[in-house]
Structure 1
Amino acid sequence: MNTNTPLTEAVLAGADGEELAATPLPETFRAAYLRREDQEIFRGVQDKDVRRTLHIGEVPMPELAPDEVVVAVMAAAVNYNTVWSATFEPLPSFQFLKHVARAGGWDARHDQDFHVIGSDASGVVVRVGAAVRHWKAGDKVVVTPGAIDEQEPAAQQDGLLADRTLAWGFETNYGAFGDYAIVKATQLMRKPRHLSWEEAACNSLCLGTAYRMLISKHGARMKMGDVVLIWGATGGLGGYAVQLVQRAGGIPVGVVGNARKAALLEKMGCRHVINRQEIGFTDCADGTDETGEMERWRSLGAAIRKQVGEDPHVVFEHVGKETFGASVFVARRGGSVVTCGSSTGYAHNYDNRHLWMRVKRIIGSHGANYQEAVEANRLLELGILVPTLSRVYPFAAVGEATRSVQRNEHEGKVGVLCLASEEGLGVEDPLLRGQIGEERLRLFRDHEV
């Protein structure tokens, strides 16, 4: 595999933008991808091991659309949509690519027999399309995954209202897991200067999602003093949710599955922690055992009130089938359940009486629009929030990295080095880094060791 192309060497040598723009793009590049021929590989298989479907090899460099850029990827991160892609669930991602390609034109490039996945990245811009105005070769960037059609009228109100709202590297091709990635200019944000490549790469998807759910006018609009119940509080989404609630003056109540994760929450300064094992909220539930479900819901509600003395104003939901009924139940009268996903199943069962009779709200939230993503990224740039990176894998072990997320063996986010040769590279503002402190910046890493 030829990873030492002239452009790659120029990027790693720190060449300026003029030199990068003058150096030819390689015809192919190294990437981690899925194969169309593997779509049925897990039929009838209990353990859908993602290491079987993630392949590393050369893929062709596509032609660049006028509103796109090519990013030399220094580091990337695993998200749960990476697991969905690699297990071909809930649908094979090649169906998404085929759907995108139906629009014709530049979109036809996405429908290939390979799918380069990955929705979080940091890197260096090496090419810009003819219509790109605000970015240039040499810019150090992070990528937000929302690929939005900004020409749709609804996008002027909220990018996520546009019909063509796609998750980059999940519903589109040429995602984060490669030496190069193709992204829209409206996906780029400044790389926080005090962070390493891998620290910068791990934030955008989960942080932007949590920001919209909790802070944005499109989400729960939490306010100072609000009690916020956070499921999976040390996970990729939950780790940012806890920080956002703390910094916004709220009262986070973190729910975790074991004592080790509870200890991490305490290190984060989260005073109110609920270990599901300690309250008997551990068995999988499908909502059909009404008596058992009510007992679980009440045990959770009692644990919350014991710690903070009141019910939650907001419930931060992304687990889905196993927890949604409890979330609706424990939210206070007039409270909100804000949901962005369903990692344990999409068919939710809950007692609707607790919703309508107590005038609660369910808010659907999906990713972040461009403005929300930039606002969330600014909090990282200022050092108000810190990354939740816990593990970093070399590129050759991208399958192992994804497997760790699939098996829920991680805390926070899992990173993957792409063109970066080692961890710790890319820090441009050591002064701010020193002010924030390595203890804060490495909290998840050091707890994982």
Structure 2
Amino acid sequence: MDALAEAVIAGAPPGELERAVVPYEYTAAHLRKDQVDVFGGAADRDVRESLHVGPVPMPELAPDEVLIATMASSVNHHTVASATFTPRPTFDFLAQLGEQGGFEQRHDQPFHAIGSDAAGVVVRVGSAVRRWKVGDHVVVAGAWVDSQEPATHADGMIGGEQRIWGAETNYGGLGHYSVARADQVLPKAPHLTWEEAASSTLCATTAYRMLVGEHGARVKQGDIVLIWGAAGGIGSFAVQLVRNAGGIAVGVVSGADKARRLAGLGCDLVIDRTELGLDDPGLSTADRGRRLGRLIRNAFGEDPHIAFDATGEKTFGISVYVVRRGGAVVTCGSDSGSWHNFDNRYLWMNLKRVIGSHAANYQEAWECNRLLTLGRLSPVLSRTYPLAEVGEAARLVQNNEHIGKVGVLCLAPREGLGVADPVLRERIGERKLTPFRAGAPTG
């Protein structure tokens, strides 16, 4: 380990961090451009074959960027998509970015250091950075935007150059260091551990935009919200946001264990899709919708106001069917496939809406991070792995064998470090802060 990383781990003051030399290379989870065809026609693209952990060159810092010593990160579905090179190799995105010239050329490399979450310590700031300094404890929001693009100033997610950090850019969070733009950086919630903070940002902010932000479904008191994949990373934050808003959370999961743990998170109604037969190939979409709608009406006397759907192909048609007249389906991502089929009669004749959503702009990320800092949102970390075993962590997510979030320790030598406000942590309580950890194995 290099001297700068050792100083960070030892809790050295900013002056000492500034005097330590930035290494010319660092350890990161990365993909290799010469392996984009490694899977051939294999049905199972095992991410353990494509993910490597080893040295990559340290990039030069642009004026508007910060260099972060990454204490912890997490696995997202972006990680899995990148490592399977689907729907297209991420090296295509890096090449397009590199064509812009200037500092963007750094991204077009024969390697891709991935990862879309990070919590750590700022160790260098670019000459144009004003609001962050060496020694700050931070997390990174996942949206990477061009601040000189006019549309970005209306909504960062509308800009044509908007990208997901660490998936469509290089030097992401799954490594000993990461490079982020200053307008991605947020203060780390002081009562959280490194791994808890690192596992929360991308999924929590994505759910916030979908449900709470002005560009989403705008959940309000009393709204019944159907949440697909409610025990996953985005879904489990959606449950909390609905509850915070005074809404009624209806979570759909696959399996009894996930259902049990989701009930402990405060979900008002938990539905095990396997018990309800929603995956029965003999049922039409309308039949599945009728089964699900009947169960929700029996519980609450009404159809859902909102369907929160990050699952995609397998669920979207049911979502359109089951929401009430004038209701909304808000969608982000398509974990089960991106070709969404639905009967348009149920949409147009009942004045329903489909809202497309993607990540979160900086203001939305800041507001969501405030909720985490206040303890109004809790991390949903279920287990962690060391960086050396990131392939195993990603494989767990690839096979949907996890609940909540899977964390990765980067520079942090063990779990439980990084808490700067133990008083607030004690007041909130370990049970609330670790809803998915109880009885969960750790890597």
Give me the TM-score of the superposition, normalised by structure 2: 0.98
Unaligned regions of 5+ residues in structure 2, if any? none
- Alignment RMSD (CA, Å): 1.0
- The answer to whether residue 186 in structure 2 is matched with residue 189 in structure 1 is yes
Q: Which of 116, 131, 148 is the matching residue for 2:113?
A: 116
User: Which residue type is aligned with residue 35 of structure 2?
Assistant: D
Alpha-carbon separation, structure 2, partners of 1:147 and 1:292: 40
- 5 Å matches for 1:2-81? 4-81=1-78
Match of 2:171 in 1: 174
| Native 8 Å contact 1:297 1:329 kept in 2 | yes
SS in 1 for 2:289: helix
| Residues 146 and 369 in structure 1, CA contact (< 8 A), matched pair in contact too | yes
Q: Give 1:448 shift.
A: 2.4
Q: How does 1:393-432 map to 2 (within 5 A)?
A: 393-432=385-424
Report the Cα distance in structure 1 between the residues aligned to 2:429 and 2:309, rounded to whole angstroms.
31
* Structure 2 residue identity aligned to 1:195: L
Moved over 4 A (4+): none
Aligned to 2:437, what secondary structure does the other structure show?
A: helix
Equivalent of 1:314 in 306, 311, 318:
306
Instruction: Name 1:349's counterpart in structure 2.
Output: 341
Which residue number in structure 2 is paired with residue 86 of structure 1?
83
Distance 1:166 1:35 in 2: 20
Per-residue CA shift, 1:118-157, capped at 9, x if unaligned?
0001000000000000000000000111111111111111
What is the CA–CA distance in structure 2 between the aligned matches of 1:369 and 1:187, rounded to whole Å?
9
Point out where structure 1 has 5 or more consecutive residues left out of the alignment.
none
| Aligned equivalents of 1:100, 1:350: Cα separation in 2 | 35
TM-superposition CA deviations, 1:367-408 (whole Å, max 9, x none)? 000000010011010011100000100111000000000011
**Structure 1 residues 176-200: Cα deviation after superposition (integer angstroms, max 9, x where no partner):** 1110001000110000000010011
In the aligned structure 1, how far is the partner of 2:352 from the partner of 2:286? 18
Map 1:192-207 onto structure 2 (within 5 A). Answer: 192-207=189-204
Per-residue CA deviation, residues 291-336 of structure 1 (Å, 9 max, x unaligned), is: 6222112111111111221111110011101000000000100000
Question: Which secondary structure state, in structure 1, belongs to the residue aligned with residue 157 of structure 2?
Answer: helix
Taking the aligned partners of 1:164 and 1:228, their CA distance within structure 2 comes to 32
CA drift of 1:271 comes to 2.3
Residue 433 of structure 1: how far off its partner (Å): 0.4
- Aligned position for 1:392: 384
Query: Secondary structure of the equivalent of 1:374?
Result: helix
Contact 1:411/1:448 (CA < 8 Å) preserved in 2? no
Question: Deviations along 1:19-69, whole A, 9 cap, x unmatched?
Answer: 212222100001110000110111210111000000111111011100001
Cα offsets for 1:206-242 (capped at 9, x unmatched): 0000000000111001111100000001100010000
The structural deviation recorded for 1:447 is 4.4
| Partner Cα distance (2:169, 2:154) in 1 | 23
1:131 aligns with 2:128: yes
Aligned to 2:278: 281
TM superposition score normalised by structure 1: 0.97
Distance 1:245 1:175 in 2: 30
1:231 is aligned to 228
Query: Which whole-Å CA distance do the structure 1 matches of 2:329 and 2:266 have between them?
Result: 24
Question: Displacement, 1:345?
Answer: 0.7
| Structure 2 residue 326 is the aligned partner of structure 1 residue 334 | yes
Match in the other structure for 2:361: 369
Cross-structure match for 2:151: 154
1:303 corresponds to which residue? 295
Residues 68 and 132 of structure 1 are in contact (CA less than 8 Å); yes or no, is this contact kept in structure 2?
Answer: yes
Tell me what 2:254 maps to.
Answer: 257
Report if aligned partners of 1:279, 1:303 keep a CA contact under 8 Å in 2.
no
Separation in structure 1 between the aligned mates of residue 363 and residue 261 of structure 2, nearest angstrom: 31
Q: Distance in 1 between matches of 2:367 and 2:168?
A: 24
Shift of 1:442: 1.5
